[in-house]
Structure 1
Amino acid sequence: MTEPHSVEGLEMAEHKASESQSRPQEASTSVKIEGPMSLDSAQAPTGFSSFLIFISKLLTWVLFPFTVFFSVKIVQQYERAVIFRLGRLLEGGEKGPGLFFIYPCIDTYVKVDLRVVSFSVPPQEILSKDSVTVNVDAVVYFRICNTIASIVNIENANGSTRLLAQTTLRNVLGTKTLAEMLSHREQISAEMQRTLDEATEHWGVKVERVEVKDIRLPHSMQRAMAAEAEANREAKAKVIAADGERLASESLRTAATVLSETPAALQLRYLQTLNTISAEHNSTIIFPLPMELLGGFMSRSQPQPLVQSPGFIQNPPGYEALPQQM
């Protein structure tokens, strides 16, 4: 009964041993695949390389007065120098700013500018999400943040960043509608900056800022948008005028109600009207009269019905009107 268990135990032990042996290999392969080449580790020079280095150093010190012009180099405050010795990256990485020393014939160096560089992205003809063709240009600001990576990992960091900016502009704006392009420029610029920064990180490039300069529309689209904007403005103006008339009518109705209920208010309005008329240059003299007096005159001016006495005969029979004497 114990033999089957022992066989199973041996099989499990062999399986665990095979897994433990395969795991280090997988880890080593994953380390080799991840990321760009290792920049800090430098291979030891071979025997022939060591001999060439020794000869170069010896000749440099023997002929020092003459080799000083070829050995001493200067880089500015905004520059760094990446040195290669016999084609390999020199241990210690970058040099500068200021003076640094190289050995002729075996050392070469490349200067890298650390200042912020700006360039304009040429106008790109882009088809928006809502099938509108627009021409868009932008400006990109970037700088070198890792000098060794910008030399070792890519041939031309500046030119590659320019080309990548063009494709990124087309890809990002191709997912936006025309309204989003016109109203969300800051969000589009921020999205382009993040995309470029992630793509150029292993190149040693840091994208500082991206700005969309101009969005040019076709002439037919410009006319259509102008007509739409004009129609919207006219509609708003009509709505505002209608609201004004409504408010004015409500105010007039309230004023009429107040004037009808208060005679003194009507008298005050009458005096204000006289003041307005007299302010202008005219030859008419106006004498303000009380409203009560005008009311009395108005009542007297109305025709009174004739009241006839019972014995009064207006035109007796046989009466003839005499002709008037001129």
Structure 2
Amino acid sequence: MRYTLCGIKYTMDFGCYDKDSGEVECYLEIPNPEAVGCVERFATFLSFLLVIVTFPFSLFECFKVVQEFERAVIFRLGRLRKGGARGPGLFFVLPCVDTYRKVDLRTVSFDVPPQEVLTRDSVTVAVDAVVYYRIKEPLNAVVRVADYSASTRLLAATTLRNVLGMRDLAQLLSDREAISHMMQANLDEATDPWGVEVERVEIKDVRLPVQLQRAMAAEAEADREARAKIIAAEGEIKASKALREASLVMIDNPMALQLRYLQSLNTISAEKNSTIIFPFPMDFLRTFLGGAAPSMSHSLPI
């Protein structure tokens, strides 16, 4: 049996005998939820009639404009109109029966509030970040989530805590770029059903406790001092090798020592000081050293 009520077709069959169970079954065909009923048609007709009666003043309420970076999602008596989002430019709405919401397609940025995070090595740090996102599906952003902006902000704060909780303090301080990419991937996957695309996530600042900062500063200072001592020791080794090679050259050529002495006098005289330097012959000390002094015919500066 088929009948029509308010423009909606219903089908009901009685007396359908089932051989297996021996029972009479009754089937009821559920109407299509997208079908427009007579009440909706009547309300739409009255809206058109109101536009015609109040013409041309009704044009100010019927024609709307959205910018190049905006889209309009239109609802007619609570139902989403076919054709997708309108815009950019001019579009038509009926008064009293049509409502619309504007969606901004530009990239939006917001700061994630500082989050107290416990790292994997049990260190408490405060981390804040900045997130850049945009709307890629205006219909999903309006229909599937109540407030896409607030939902994205709350999800970003939760994702930040979850991602940082899986890292050590050293990784948190050195691998900020990897953490940002991981957080962006997680956020983009979670917000994709809402029509939101997360474009970029950046870690702004990592604040450590004061005691931990002092401990890390002391560790870094000790490390630098150790490296400085090692470098100085290596320099002494290289200098001693160079002096050894220079002494071998001077033994082969005694005049080299005299030239080095004159060069030292030239360097000292350039500083304009009152220091007086004169050579003292080493042969003069043979008498006191009992012949132990080296037999060199040149003089050394004293």
Q: TM-score range, shorter-chain basis?
A: 0.7 to 0.9
For 1:231 and 1:265, the matched residues in 2 are separated by 44
Distance 1:271 1:52, change over 3 A: same
Distance 1:255 1:133, change over 3 A: same
2:250 is matched with which residue: 250, 253, 259?
Answer: 259
For 2:220 and 2:177, the matched residues in 1 are separated by 23
Residue equivalent to 1:68: 59
1:220 is matched with which residue: 211, 215, 223?
Answer: 211
**Structure 1: which 5+ runs fail to align?**
1-40, 304-326
1:168 is aligned to 2:127: no
Does the 8 Å CA contact 1:42/1:91 hold for their aligned counterparts?
no
1:114 is matched with which residue: 88, 105, 123?
Answer: 105
- What do residues 43-81 of structure 1 show as CA deviations (whole Å, max 9, x unaligned)? 231232222222222321232223112211122222111
Determine helix, strand or coil for the equivalent of 1:65.
coil
State the aligned residue count: 257
Quote the sequence identity (%): 59
Residue equivalent to 2:41: 50
Residue equivalent to 2:261: 270
Residue equivalent to 1:97: 88
1:236 is aligned to 2:189: no
Residue equivalent to 1:129: 120
For 2:165 and 2:284, the matched residues in 1 are separated by 84
CA deviation after TM superposition for structure 1 residue 285, in Å? 9.4
Distance 1:235 1:101, change over 3 A: same
Residue equivalent to 1:250: 241
Does the 8 Å CA contact 1:123/1:136 hold for their aligned counterparts?
yes
**Structure 2: which 5+ runs fail to align?**
1-31, 289-302
Distance 1:171 1:256, change over 3 A: same
Indicate the larger mover: 271-280 or 217-226: 271-280
CA deviation after TM superposition for structure 1 residue 249, in Å? 0.9
For 2:94 and 2:72, the matched residues in 1 are separated by 14
Letter in 1 for 2:105: L
Letter in 2 for 1:56: S
1:153 is matched with which residue: 139, 144, 161?
Answer: 144
Q: Counting strand residues as a fraction of each chain, which structure ranks higher?
A: 2
Distance 1:285 1:59, change over 3 A: closer
Distance 1:261 1:106, change over 3 A: same
Letter in 1 for 2:207: R
For 1:261 and 1:226, the matched residues in 2 are separated by 53
For 1:42 and 1:70, the matched residues in 2 are separated by 29
Does the 8 Å CA contact 1:42/1:89 hold for their aligned counterparts?
no
For 1:192 and 1:277, the matched residues in 2 are separated by 65
Determine helix, strand or coil for the equivalent of 1:176.
coil
- What do residues 282-301 of structure 1 show as CA deviations (whole Å, max 9, x unaligned)? 49697x99xxxx68xx3898
Residue equivalent to 1:85: 76
Name the Cα RMSD after superposition.
2.5
CA deviation after TM superposition for structure 1 residue 235, in Å? 0.5
Distance 1:113 1:299, change over 3 A: closer
Residue equivalent to 2:197: 206
Determine helix, strand or coil for the equivalent of 2:85.
strand
For 2:151 and 2:277, the matched residues in 1 are separated by 91
Normalised by the size of structure 1, how large is the TM-score? 0.73
Q: Which runs of 4+ in 1 moved over 4 A?
A: 281-286, 299-303
Determine helix, strand or coil for the equivalent of 2:229.
helix
Q: Counting helix residues as a fraction of each chain, which structure ranks higher?
A: 1
Determine helix, strand or coil for the equivalent of 1:96.
coil
